[in-house]
Amino acid sequence: MCALAVLIYMHVVGVPEKLANYLLSEASTPNLAIEADSVRIDLIRGIIAKPVRIYQKRVVAPPVMVADTVQIMINPFLLILKKQPVQHVRIVGVEFKNSIQKEHSRKQGDKGVHEDVEFKLEVVDTIWRDVRINSFIGTLKVLENGWSIEDFTTVLAGDEMTGRVWGDVLYNKTKRVVSGAVNTKLDPNILIPWFEVWNMKFLSMLMQRFEVNSIKPYCSGTFSKEIEKGGPLAIDCHIEFEDGLYRNVYLSKAVTELKIVAGGGKKSVVTLDPLIASCYDGTANIKLVIDTGAQKVSFDGELKDVDPKDVCGYIGILTNGFFDVIKMESPLIANASGAFNYGHRDKTDFTVAIESKRIYANKLYAEDVQFTLRGSGVTNYIENFSGDMCNGKIVADGYVFTANNIVATNKGGYKYNINLTDVRFDELIRILGTGKSHGYSGRIALNTELYGVLNNDFLSTMEGSGHVSVDKGEVFSLPIFGGLSRFMTKAIPGLDFVLRQSDASADFVVGNGKVTTDKLHIDGDVLSLTGDGSYYFDKKLDFEIRVKLLKSHTFVAKVIGTITYPISKLFEFKVGGTLDEPEWRPVNFSSEILKKLGLKKDD
């Protein structure tokens, strides 16, 4: 009865101070000492201490941590046998105050006293380095040369994110190294505060690039880290990522073998080999190496039906609007190798061989395209571009400056040389116009050089020059010549057929938001046309046109042109309006004549 009364007293009132100190000393480990303001004994739950402070032995420093409650389950038989009696420790409301300090070396010959300790450790409702630990449980072993936590499971949380970590961890006190084999199923952004504390700035930056949706990434691997500030880190793991974003670009699924060697700070080498990823209907199988010390991204592999804009978004290259203008359609194959140096761009050197079913630049497109994209320093080159366009051929080459170079040169972000041969006139009109070919015939050839700033309003800053020609076409049948056709067939009945047969050519200059020519020639069998003026990219027209008999370059036409020069002055026009609604105004016809021809209404 007396023993029961004592137990009830210690349960309700508390354990006497001397006994409490003895129990806490027995519960302490060789390296850690436990202190508490009050201690009670519960017949079911063991020793309950509140609030608790845990100190590192042989180190003069504030407590390593404080806790609201520590519950210690003790085996009384082991206590009688003077063996380590602790079986299970449950800690609630932990606040970490101080890091465990490196102990001073003991004097030679002082081996100290050590007894291995093993018990189940459970931690609930704790925040460590801005990461909430909802729960933690594992087997803690305190060894002569460190400690280990085996078969642990923990649930982490932060900013509406949750995740689970499980595995084994070992600390070697002599080497000051923490290592382990762990598995995770969590949003990697949860770990950012820990990476910041451990001075792993690159890993922190890398984690922030991920945005996880409903499926948490899975990771399984090993790690090793010297706990000194800036100490090396090694990670070797398998990762599965699904249904999320990386650098704001969607990833359907990605599987990789990841290796990280970090020396602290921003000097890290991250290797993903192989990285097998899918994005919508596309796949990638590449090796990717990110060297933060050299500020370089190296890559080697193949991509199938992956949008190049997405790939450049993953790596962080060619994000200056290039792929906002140029779009590629599947099937698409790209073989890439080389390195992009984001710290010293003059050291960039990569090559990407591309084959695409169709490539768009606004309304224009080319089919069965092959070309090489090459990066050298601050410039990205397009080389050996070839493909089919409107049943003809297109070949081109050029280069694109990076954003920094655009600012420095004032020339704009690109320069292209483009050559079209044997392109069907009717198909080109259909693509650029209303979607209908209108039965036009003829073939187009074009040779041009264009350069400017590559942005969403690139037409307004485009500059260049070139030559275009139409062979055996029906230029006069274009809607833009509707006003001329109506006038000429009224003035000279019977011209409605012969106006359809024509060749055309023009030298032109591009700049200030318009295309300008002073050498426009359209030659028909009966009539020829010369002109000069400008077409503005907002579709406005401003031309002066002169119509003559016969083809202008023949001897007969020159003789007849000389004889009929006074009459030909009647067939001079001003062309205004827009491309959709052109306005033809005869310069030298009076209002009366126009009324008689039915080309002007009575006032």
**CB < 8 Å & 24+ apart, contacts of 133-136:** 133/94, 134/162
**pLDDT tens-digit profile of 278-291?**
888 889 999 999 88
- Mean pLDDT of all residues in 207-231: 86
- For the cut 50, the answer to whether the pLDDT of residue 78 exceeds it is yes
Q: For residues 54 and 162, give the distance between their C-alpha atoms in angstroms, rounded to a whole number.
A: 28
**pLDDT tens-digit profile of 83-113?**
777 788 898 988 877 666 665 544 444 445 5
Q: Has this prediction a pTM greater than 0.85?
A: no
pLDDT at position 414 is: 84
Q: For residues 549 and 532, give the distance between their C-alpha atoms in angstroms, rounded to a whole number.
A: 18
Higher pLDDT, 130 or 595: 130
Higher pLDDT, 393 or 589: 393
Closest CA to 472 of 417, 525, 404: 525
**CB < 8 Å & 24+ apart, contacts of 23-30:** 23/47, 23/72, 23/74, 24/49, 26/74, 26/79, 26/85, 26/86, 27/72, 27/74, 27/85, 27/86, 27/89, 28/57, 29/117, 29/142, 30/57, 30/112, 30/113, 30/114, 30/115, 30/117, 30/142
Buried/exposed 157-179: b ≥16 CB within 10 Å, e otherwise: bbeebebebbbbbbbbeeeebbb
pLDDT at position 568 is: 52
Token representation of residue 132: 């909430």
Closest CA to 312 of 345, 272, 352: 352
Distance between start and end Cα atoms, the chain = 128
Higher pLDDT, 164 or 563: 164
Least confident of 149-158, 173-182, 551-560: 551-560
Q: What is the CA radius of gyration of the chain?
A: 40
Instruction: Give 231's contacts (C-beta < 8 A, 6+ positions apart).
Output: 176, 225, 264
Task: Supply angle C-alpha 523, 525, 531, rounded to 5.
Answer: 25
Q: Identify whether the C-beta of residue 226 lies closer than 8 Å to the C-beta of residue 182.
A: no
Closest CA to 190 of 147, 219, 233: 219
**pLDDT tens-digit profile of 231-246?**
788 999 999 999 888 8
Within 13 Å and on the Cβ side, how many CA atoms surround 473?
29
Indicate the pLDDT class of residue 274, thresholds 50, 70 and 90: very high
**pLDDT tens-digit profile of 464-510?**
999 999 988 777 777 777 667 666 666 555 555 455 557 889 999 99
pLDDT at position 287 is: 94
**CB < 8 Å & 24+ apart, contacts of 193-197:** 193/129, 193/130, 193/131, 193/158, 194/129, 194/131, 197/129
% of the chain beyond a pLDDT of 90: 28
- For the cut 70, the answer to whether the pLDDT of residue 595 exceeds it is no
Indicate the pLDDT class of residue 409, thresholds 50, 70 and 90: very low
Token representation of residue 2: 């007396």
Token representation of residue 282: 């596309």
Q: Identify whether the C-beta of residue 147 lies closer than 8 Å to the C-beta of residue 141.
A: yes
pLDDT at position 393 is: 96
Q: For residues 160 and 167, give the distance between their C-alpha atoms in angstroms, rounded to a whole number.
A: 24
Give the bridge partners for 354, in sequence order.
334, 371
pLDDT at position 569 is: 58
